[in-house]
Structure 1
């Protein structure tokens, strides 16, 4: 097994076909996509290197996402950029719920925590509306 993969045993299937392996990267991508679906989230913050990679045309769907995946549980840390003028607390709670639901629904892992770090505020969306 790859050290970046975590093994999740399929329980109560009765088919005896074996195990399912879900890599940390898959969980990161699910979390990143679920976070960006929330209204008020402009993007994810991956630091200076992530910003350069995105400007060069390489979009990494796990930018700004850190996960710890066990056999049955996962914890997620997200760094996001929000739109100016929104209620940050409300958007953060929506991100937590969306990420938790998406990971649990798609992987069967129990999400024990979703930590949100607001890394910036974007004014470009506010200017476009005016």
Structure 2
């Protein structure tokens, strides 16, 4: 992302945004992991670029769209966790980068079993 200022240009790479989103996502207790797998292969074919740990960044004009693929822990309130993750990503990425986030799409690709309840 290129930001024009009177002092010059600021460029923020997709990798930096992906790392920020990854840290925010991994700090969410109800999310077991991020998922790339088959999606990563399709992304490489479509865009020629790789997903970074289940995170895809898409730029539209001066706005950014973020897709995050996750695996949730069993028993989590999926819709609440996803909504909270969306808010955190938008708030923190916009705050630290100054970019305008158009959307954060959370795709739940699986649920891990609750190992504590099987013992």
Instruction: Give the TM interval when normalised to the shorter protein.
Output: 0.7 to 0.9
* Residue matched to 1:72: 62
Alpha-carbon distance, 1:68 to partner: 1.3
- Which ranges in structure 2 are unaligned for 5 or more consecutive residues? 41-50
Q: For 2:56 and 2:76, how far apart are their aligned partners in 1? A: 25
Larger-gyration structure (1/2): 1
Query: May I ask how many residue pairs the two structures share in their alignment?
Result: 108
Could you list the structure 1 runs, at least 4 aligned residues long, displaced by more than 3 angstroms after superposition.
Answer: none
* Residue matched to 1:111: 101
Please, what TM-score do these two structures have when normalized by structure 1? Answer: 0.73
SS of the aligned residue for 2:56 comes to strand
Call closer, same or farther: CA 1:64–1:38 in 2, change over 3 Å.
Answer: same
Aligned match of 2:14 in 24, 47, 51?
Answer: 24
- Which ranges in structure 1 are unaligned for 5 or more consecutive residues? 1-5, 11-15, 51-60
Please, what TM-score do these two structures have when normalized by structure 2? Answer: 0.79
